[in-house]
Amino acid sequence: MVAILQTPGQPTQADFHAAISSRSDRWFAACLKITRNRAMAEDAVQDALLSAWNKRHQFDNTARLDTWIHRIAVNAALQLLRKQRPAAFEPLETDVEDASETPEAVHAGHEFGKTLSAAMTQLSEFERICFVLKHLEQWRLREIADEVGSDIGAVKQAVFRAVRKLRKRLGGLRGEIS
């Protein structure tokens, strides 16, 4: 179910409940990939929901409510990182799984996720954030540069270095990934 407003105008409490029930796991997963900390990811989603509710009058009806909240959640995760700037990141404890997949696909995805998480620890914080926003969240380079307070060239370099490092670390998995 996609959270699309049933009526034009400001999102209602029912619209928010529908978006939360259908998409909150995706918001949490995105925040967890950025922060690499379960508590910070939970805080980011909670902050995002509170912010979205308080600013619901600013919602643009040309967008979907769930994608608007997703964007706010990612920004909240980045904001939490800016405040804390942890020196080292912990590996992900768990991944959010899609119940529609086969057990084998879930296991393979979980194993790949653990391997990717381990490989991502070798990235600098800037490289990891740029990589996650570009390749996992599908942001444009200009959006990333604006959000992290950098120029497009630096973002391109960070994404390039991250991809190169990850390819090197994950090179043995090429034949296993379909």
List of residues 6+ apart from 44 with CB closer than 8 A:
31, 34, 35, 73, 76, 77, 79, 80
Amino acid 113 reads: G
Q: Read off the pTM.
A: 0.58
Give me 62's structure tokens.
């040309």
Amino acid 8 reads: P
Structure letter (DSSP) for residue 134: I
68 Rama class: left (phi>0) / alpha (psi -120 to 50) / beta? alpha
Second CATH level (architecture) for the domain 1-93: Orthogonal Bundle (1.10)
> What digits encode the pLDDT tens for the residues 2-46?
444 445 678 889 999 999 999 999 999 999 888 888 999 999 999
* In the predicted structure, residue 1 carries a pLDDT above the cut 50: no
Do 91 and 117 touch, CB atoms closer than 8 A? yes
97-171 CATH pick, 3.90.25.10, 1.10.3720.10, 3.40.50.300, 1.10.10.10: 1.10.10.10
